Structure 1
């Protein structure tokens, strides 16, 4: 697998704005001119909208409008994972120049309390920071969960008002937002198929357990090594920064492997491994590499310590 980071000269270029709408009609009235202006600038336009909104927008613009539809979230419960997924896709789209991205809040992704959107937008600010992207996120004025609006207000440096961008005085740094609004834990799983307690000199036991289950689950040799490397990076981070001892849980499922690493340390950075490391940085690459190799990598913390869930398909 080829892993590439950001060019050393790349400066942050993301323009991230929140916008609000009172109805589908109001939403379309704001979307249409944004698309038209982007096309006049000869920019590509990428969408992450509700299917009904997308269909109405295409009707307004005409069938020939060149619109790219971003892939739907593969793991809606993890804003970290969705942000990385968007970052990979937009990295390819921006090879030919700036891209205008328009997204819409979709209530079916809210989860139990709507905090998914706060995590997603905070993670986007880190994962997309280096890309020439104009990203405008549309939210309803009255969502089901108030935290959707609170997160939108804190995560976006700009606000779209009557077609113009204005500075957002409530904006805060993404890690500050998530420190104040911690990431929720994912749904609990059943009893793991394998549990390994380990310390720094026992990382070979972690690698051995993952390699054995991956082989039994039908992973190719190359894919097995990807997953072993990813889990090893997470486990190494746990015993280096989280305390002398940690624990690995592994589940073999019909869709591949789920691995969790638990340690008793405090989580200093709520978004570890989200930004591609600078080539001159000798450390801090482990979790970033692991995120590139897995289908999901979700980090959260609680009173018991720091936890990382990794999911990988064959």
Structure 2
């Protein structure tokens, strides 16, 4: 089996982006690999247009600003699902999860995702090329790319990364406290199963003016699942805080529990396991999931964007 390969690509302009991604895709097609290109919109169109019709017909495309809007959704919802759909074959991916326009609230989840890819796909027959726009991203994001990729492609040269280390430890560096909710946010303390209707009612009342009926139902389900996890797994009360920002509904659940598995919510559990799917469901529903586990417990913040809200990215 060919070893798992996870290079980071540093590019400065469109020509440099295409000079690496097009040969990568063509080589995978020639080798008979299934190929998934998951990029933010502009680069998705750019790479698709650079491939001739015959080559493009052998590639699956996904707009990462939609399917990967939540970084926690990319591993289970894109990468593992695509690999599972092609058993016994080497799979190839082109991605750009850290695109210009990601917010400071989103970024730690993006960087942790990039580190954890190495753990999830260790031993898999796969290659994942991750692009980084050095002209528009912060220098700290480029430095983190060197930490989260075993090898880097810089100025067309492939080199081992001297900053790469244990991926779980690196992901832990992005376990950072969440920004404080705004002063005007509403909150509710809950402890018992009988408190869950009040949790759902709070989310419904605050999110209903912003979200479509379908997204509202999903958002209520996500909040219910997070609150139910508090009741199942901790002995103390939980607190749910909700508020709106331009174009999105935000929800934060705080409790005394500790999430010790860095892959929680990113890898589907064994089908015979009766639990462990709550965070996976929340990741699939929400447009952002940030988790911080500290000495006092765990805080989980979710964002759900309105259909007409801003969608950062290109």
Counterpart among 277, 284, 309 of residue 301 in structure 2 = 309
What TM-score does the superposition give when structure 1 sets the normalisation length? 0.70
Q: Does 1:244 align with 2:236?
A: yes
CA contact (8 A) 1:256 1:311 kept: yes
Instruction: State the Cα deviation string for residues 238-288 of structure 1 (Å, max 9, x = none).
Output: 355566121123458998964321124555345532111124556544323
CA RMSD of aligned residues (A): 4.5
Q: Is the 8 A contact 1:83 1:124 kept in 2?
A: yes
Structure 1 residue 48 displacement after superposition: 3.5
Distance 1:206 1:249, change over 3 A: farther
State the SS of the aligned residue for 1:154: helix
Find the counterpart in structure 1 of residue 141 from structure 2: 148
With over 3 angstroms needed to count, the CA separation of the structure-2 counterparts of 1:310 and 1:115, relative to structure 1, is closer
Match of 2:114 in 1: 121
Which stretches in structure 2 are left out of the alignment for 5+ residues?
Answer: 307-314
Match status 1:24 vs 2:14:
yes
CA distance in 2, matches of 1:227, 1:23: 38
Of 69, 94, 100, which aligns to 1:107? 100
Summarize deviations over 1:91-143 as a string: whole Å, max 9, x none. Answer: 57646954321234532225479645413313544666697542111234566
Count of residue correspondences: 298
Task: Provide structure 1 residue ranges, at least 5 long, that are not aligned to the other structure.
Answer: 1-10
Output the CA distance in 2 between the equivalents of 1:234 and 1:130.
32
TM-score (normalizing by structure 2): 0.70
C-alpha distance in structure 2 between counterparts of 1:22 and 1:253, whole Å:
33
Kept after mapping to 1: 8 A contact 2:111/2:144: yes
- Given that residues 6 and 151 in structure 2 are in contact (C-alpha distance below 8 angstroms), is that contact kept between their aligned partners in structure 1? yes
